Amino acid sequence: MMREFPAPPRAAEFGDLISKKVEEVKASGGTRETVTVDWNGQQAHVEVIDLPLSSLFYNPSTHRIRAQRSHDSERDAALEKDPWSVESQDYLQFLLKASPADPNLRDKEFDTLKESLDQFGQNDPGLVTRHGVLVNGNTRAAALRELGAQSMRVGVLPASFTWADINAVELSLQLRKDHRRDYSYINRLIAMEEQAALGRTPEQIAKDFRIQVRTYHQERWILSTIRELIERSRAGGGNGLRLVDWEGAQERLKELQRLYVKLETVDRDQAEVLKELRLAAILLNFSKTDVRHINEDFLKDGLEQRLIAGGASPAQPQSVSIPGLGLEVPAASSAVAEARAMNDEILRAAAVVSSETPAIGDQGKAAAQDVLDSAKAAFDGAIEAAGRNTRLRKRKQLAPARLAEACASIDQCVNDLVQARTSRSLDEEAFDDAVVKLRDSLLKLAKQAGRGLPQPGDGVSWLLEAVSAEGSQ
């Protein structure tokens, strides 16, 4: 969450330099460059000056790479301890250049920004505090440094700004409708969470982020679920999954939330089982189309047994006591417990595989990878079977669906016929031809519908009788 960082080294000395430069700009006369920031519901215009890049610090609390900081737990812990050290600033610079979904890869958008700066120069100024901490323009500073630039144009925020003000200004700039790079999905969720922690209402946050209130609640559910999974992946207090591991799963997580909310009020156990199965499939990197096969029909067909059969099924209590209240509520069903236990095993294995901790060793990682490979194969088979069943259901339902569409068209035809007769605009010859085609189609339908049905239902019986009467005329 949001925290107050100490002032960087030589903060007072650098503050004096900034104040001197600001005064020089004001005294120089002529047109002065300013930048507008939104602060406490008002607009403030701050002076723009040139500052040496070597003296500027990356913002350790920037939302741009908040989730990506979890990429390396040891370097992140060092950054929390001393955000201004060379090692911590190097880590921030590394993340600013890295792909949000996979920090091990360089971000193509960063290279695009760098090329633009090299060709056209710096168009928009950044923002700094009086201590030289970049509030806006962290990524541009990293690109300019890589290009060998010596200075950067920045607007200088008032000396009274707190870290809460800094975060608020950064967020307001990010949410402007311009060509600014969007936050990655998880960083956007974290920003919403921080705004809620400041006491802002869902309506206010949704308005700032230009989303509906129900979307805000969906996003909060998703982040809460991700944090819960991260905690569950920490086996015995060891390394767990990272926030960055869930970048790229936005649409799959949103579809999961919609399915869960729909089923929760009808059958909570079913909703919980499908939630665990879908989360496991997302973690195993199945596509959105594949994950969709894990639905109510997946459970009706008993395909979940392919995934949890043979696994450890811990004994479950009949009820759970609520501490301090002396009350007991029913415990989770065995199906939920089994799905959760299966997912926990996958979560812990994924955490081990993604960990950079040397103590785990190659043997430990290999064992964890075997668990993931086995789970992937089981899910692959179950999802393939679900796909076949879905296609079979569609074939079974295709003929009735076509006939239902034809009935709707005939109902509409009745209304059109009444209107045409009222306005005396009916083409009777064309209408008669169409009715003849309908008769021919019904004859064909009756011929096929009567095959293989020793005891036809009321509808088919009527159709056969009507065709029989037609043939006797």
User: Residue 329's pLDDT is what?
Assistant: 47
CB atoms within 10 A of CB 92: 24
Written as one letter, the residue type at 346 is: I
CA–CA distances in Å: residue 134 to residues 22, 127, 129, 156, 255: 17, 6, 7, 10, 37
pLDDT at 32 over 70: yes
b (16+ CB within 10 A) / e for 373-404: eebbebbeebbeebeebbeeeeeeeeeeeeee
DSSP 3-state of 64: helix
How many helices (H) and strands (E) the chain has is answered by 18, 7
pLDDT at 33 over 80: yes
Write the pLDDT tens digit of every residue in 114-147.
999 999 999 899 999 999 999 999 999 999 999 9
Q: Which helix (H) or strand (E) holds 346?
A: helix 334-354
Write the pLDDT tens digit of every residue in 420-438.
989 989 998 999 999 999 9
User: Residue 179's pLDDT is what?
Assistant: 45
Q: Are 208 and 175 in contact (CB under 8 A)?
A: yes
Sign of CA dihedral 280, 286, 287, 289: negative
Higher pLDDT, 395 or 282: 282
Write the pLDDT tens digit of every residue in 47-62.
999 999 999 999 999 9
pLDDT at 82 over 50: yes
Would you kindly state where each structural domain of the chain is located, as residue ranges?
11-179, 186-303+333-393, 434-472
CB atoms within 10 A of CB 462: 12
307: Cβ contacts below 8 Å, ≥ 6 apart: 277, 280, 342, 375, 378, 379, 382
pLDDT at 158 over 60: yes
Residue with tokens 């993340």: 95
Average the pLDDT over 248-264 and give the result: 96
For residue 50, the cross-strand partners are 153
pLDDT at 299 over 50: yes
pLDDT at 292 over 90: yes
Q: Give dist(CA 459, CA 250) in Å, integer.
A: 47
Residue with tokens 């905690």: 231
Q: Are 46 and 122 in contact (CB under 8 A)?
A: no
Pairing type for strands 151-156 and 134-136 reads unpaired
DSSP 9: T
Average the pLDDT over 256-265 and give the result: 96
Q: What is the mean pLDDT of the chain?
A: 88
User: Residue 333's pLDDT is what?
Assistant: 73
**pTM, to two decimals:** 0.75
Residue with tokens 């997912």: 343
Q: pLDDT class for 42, splitting at 50, 70, 90?
A: confident
Q: Give dist(CA 139, CA 452) in Å, integer.
A: 71
Q: Give dist(CA 79, CA 231) in Å, integer.
A: 21
DSSP 3-state of 180: coil
pLDDT at 180 over 50: yes
Average the pLDDT over 211-233 and give the result: 96
In this structure, the chain runs to a length of 473
Which segments of 298-342 are extended strands (E)? 319-322, 327-330
